[in-house]
Amino acid sequence: MDLILGVDGGNTKTIAVVARRDGTIMGWGRSGCGDIYGAVSEDAALGEIERAADEALTAARASRRDLLSSGMSLAGADWPEDIEFLREAMDARELGRNITVVNDGLGPLRAGVPQGPGIAATCGTGLAIGARGHEGETWHGSFWLESHGAREMSVSAFRRVIQAEIGIGPPTSLSQRVSQYYGGLCIEEILHRLTARSRTGEPPFAGLAPILLHEADAGDSTSRTIVKTHGKAIGEYVLAAARKVFLDGEPFPLVLAGGVFRHPSRLLERSILSRVRRECPGVHVVRTRFEPVVGALLFGFDTAGLRTDARIMSRMAATLPPDEVFAT
């Protein structure tokens, strides 16, 4: 078999899919942190990428020898030497006869805007931004960005809860919701458990982001201020990306991807667009049906020199992994 591998590697999870030339996804796998900067070691990150790929191959009843090419959109593919290191590491592991590695900001863009100019902002545990100009030039945010993903939003929310608790900030409905999230503990007990030397086994801190978005939609003024502040900051980065690929002032498509944007709240999105449209009035949001890993898979097709027409994209859409595979 000649199969194509796509890998989307992040800090919270790494997803891999394997597809036939006709676009049919034959198998998928999921593992942990695939970021060489975020994992406990480079080898640990490479091992997670390898594990997700092997799970996908096993599900497809295939082996690494069957891989014609691979596309990998990875957190940690930040500087040129990182990309070269990762490509060589994947080549040594025989995860494709031909391998393309890009930053994780570019996979969602490839999935949402297959060609031409565009920008993608992916808001998961962290924030990733990828941009492509009229001439195919690309830029990714990487270390240029402060994180405005779920974790940083959660930090902002918890900071306001602490301020309310000690009386230097206004009351907020976040206090009760955060207490519920931590099993009914009071705020002092939660703060102790999060900061004590013996802390273990706490719920993921980034899990406060959905609570923040819900309370903002419910009208809590503190929550709304936090969400709008993060949205404005993300909008600034989108505009910076536009300038880097000469799209400033133009009506480019903007892909909003990642787990945070799967929340039903639209306040974050509106806040981003409010800032971006002040300088680029014609910007429009692209609602892609594809997860970022499909963008990585499409890079694999590109690397193999295979066209991805409407029929192939339709087969991919019909054979996607179930939603729970992507849940964070």
Residue 287 is predicted with a pLDDT of: 83
pLDDT at residue 68 greater than cutoff 70: yes
The pLDDT of residue 46: 97
Question: With contact defined as beta carbons under 8 Å apart, do 72 and 100 qualify?
Answer: yes
Q: pLDDT (tens digit, 9 = 90+) per residue, 275-293? A: 999 999 999 999 888 999 9
Average pLDDT of the residues of the chain: 95
Alpha helices, DSSP H, located in the chain: 42-59, 80-92, 107-112, 150-165, 174-181, 187-195, 208-217, 221-244, 267-276, 292-303, 310-318
Residues 78 and 207 in one domain: no
pTM: 0.92
Count CA atoms closer than 13 A to 166's CA, side-chain side: 8
Rounded Cα distance between 24 and 16, Å, is: 14
Q: How confident is the model at residue 40 (pLDDT cuts 50, 70, 90)?
A: very high
The answer on 212 and 88 residing in a single domain is: no
CA 84 centroid distance within chain = 21
On whether both 79 and 24 belong to a single domain, the answer is yes
Same domain, 22 and 154: no
Is the pLDDT at 109 greater than 70? The verdict is: yes
pLDDT of residue 125: 87
**Could you give the percent of the chain with pLDDT greater than 70?**
99
Q: How many domains does the chain have?
A: 2
Whether residue 180 is found in the same domain as residue 314: no
Phi-psi region of 297 (alpha: psi -120 to 50; beta: other; left: phi over 0): alpha
CA pair distance 280, 40, nearest whole angstrom: 41
Q: Quick one: 46 and 162 in the same domain?
A: no
**Does 269 score more than 90 pLDDT?**
yes
Distance CA 289, CA 111 (A): 9
Q: The tokens of 317 are what?
A: 């859409």
CATH of the domain at 124: 3.30.420.40
Task: Please report the pLDDT score of residue 204 as a whole number.
Answer: 75
Domain of residue 126 covers: 110-288
Other C-beta atoms closer than 10 Å to the C-beta of 302 total 16
Coil, strand or helix at 35: coil
Instruction: For Cα atoms 82, 85, 91, give the angle at the middle one, nearest 5 degrees.
Output: 140
Q: What is the mean pLDDT of residues 210-222?
A: 97
Q: What is the pLDDT of residues 172-195, one digit of tens each?
A: 999 999 999 999 999 999 999 888
CA distances from 90 to 107, 109, 278, 298, 320 (A): 17, 23, 43, 17, 24
Residue 150 and residue 117 share a domain: yes
